């Protein structure tokens, strides 16, 4: 059997808050293969974002094992985690997190500096990614000149630009109306059809129904997995 892209065993994250402990993840076991399209669902506070932050190496487990793309993340230093994140993971957030006084093109191209690419290569790649999300004609616009859906498409282009093995989206349509949300979800569908592993958190049933696998969290555990 080949190693899955993600393998969690007893994955735990405990937050200390005012002297008490919050078990945000309470011993999660899960395998996710390369190329899967997964919706993470569950009530607010159930551990969805904590799980995404572990998998994307934004934060480190308190216990258990987490292997992503061949790397045991629980044993890595902060520098190694940053290098892993930069190479292997693309993130999309609910609030887009774009640089305000910066063109769509530069929002996508700037993070590629960390890949050590030349300015020309960064620009070419950023243009290709913006074209992929249907924004060829908006490359010079700043975020304030774009609709919410367009801003989220810039954020998706930015997430894709470094050719990650994994695309993580935490409530990517949470700030969008339903029509715009459908358009943005069409892009995730296309990216997965091209072979990119997509894991997205959502509260919305119709968004979750797009994925081929549905994992439900409750109180820091997986309580339902359609696989």
Interface stretch with ligand ADP, choices 3-11, 45-53, 81-89, 138-146 (CB under 6 A) = 45-53
CB 24 within 8 A of CB 37: no
Q: Which of 3, 9, 15, 224 binds ligand ADP (CB under 6 A)?
A: 15
Q: Does 17 bind ligand ADP (CB under 6 A)?
A: yes
Binding of ligand ADP by 20 (CB under 6 A): no
Tokens read off for 165: 């093995």
The dihedral sign for the CA sequence 9, 35, 199, 105: positive
Contact positions vs Mg ion (CB under 5 A): 48-49
Rounded to 10°, the helix 119-132/148-161 angle is 130
Q: How far is CA 88 from CA 82, 153, 203, in A?
A: 10, 20, 26
Q: What is the CA radius of gyration of the chain?
A: 17
Question: 48 or 158: whose CB is closer to Mg ion?
Answer: 48
Contact between 27 and ligand ADP per CB under 6 A: no
Compare residues 49 and 150 and give the one whose CB is closer to ligand ADP: 49
Reduce the DSSP state of residue 51 to 3 states and report it: helix
Q: What is the SS3 assignment for 168?
A: strand
**Are residues 168 and 56 in contact, defined by beta-carbon separation less than 8 angstroms?**
yes
Q: Which stretch binds ligand ADP (CB under 6 A): 16-24, 88-96, 151-159, 179-187?
A: 16-24
The four Cα atoms 98, 101, 103, 104 give a dihedral, to 10 degrees, of 20
Residue 44 found at the interface with ligand ADP (CB under 6 A): yes
Should residue 223 be labelled a site residue for ligand ADP when binding is judged by CB under 6 A? no
Annotate each residue in 46-75 with x if it binds ligand ADP (CB under 6 A) or - if it does not, as one string: xxxxx-------------------------
Q: Which is nearer to Mg ion, 48 or 210 (CB)?
A: 48
- Least Å distance, CB 123 to Mg ion, is 34
Interface residues toward ligand ADP, by CB under 6 A: 15, 17, 22, 24, 42, 44-50
């Amino acid at each position: 059997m080949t190693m899955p892209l993600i393998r969690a065993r007893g994955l735990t994250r405990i937050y200390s808050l005012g002297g008490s402990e919050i078990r945000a993840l309470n011993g999660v076991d899960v395998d996710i293969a390369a190329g899967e399209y997964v919706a993470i669902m569950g009530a607010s506070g159930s551990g969805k974002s904590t799980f995404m932050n572990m998998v994307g190496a934004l934060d480190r487990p308190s216990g258990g094992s987490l292997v992503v793309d061949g790397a045991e993340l629980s044993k890595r230093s902060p520098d190694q985690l940053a290098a892993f994140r930069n190479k292997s993971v693309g993130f999309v957030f609910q609030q887009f997190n774009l640089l305000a006084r910066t063109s769509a093109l530069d929002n996508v191209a700037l993070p590629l500096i960390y890949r050590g690419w030349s300015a020309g290569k960064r620009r070419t790649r950023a243009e290709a990614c913006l074209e992929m999300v249907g924004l060829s004609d908006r490359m010079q616009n700043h975020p304030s000149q774009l609709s919410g859906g367009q801003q989220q498409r810039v954020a998706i282009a930015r997430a894709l630009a470094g050719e990650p093995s994994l695309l993580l989206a935490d409530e990517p349509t949470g700030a969008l109306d339903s029509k715009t949300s459908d358009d943005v979800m069409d892009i995730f569908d296309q990216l997965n059809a091209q072979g990119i592993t997509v894991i997205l958190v959502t509260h919305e049933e119709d968004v979750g129904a797009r994925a081929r696998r549905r994992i439900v969290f409750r109180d820091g555990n997986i309580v339902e997995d359609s696989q």
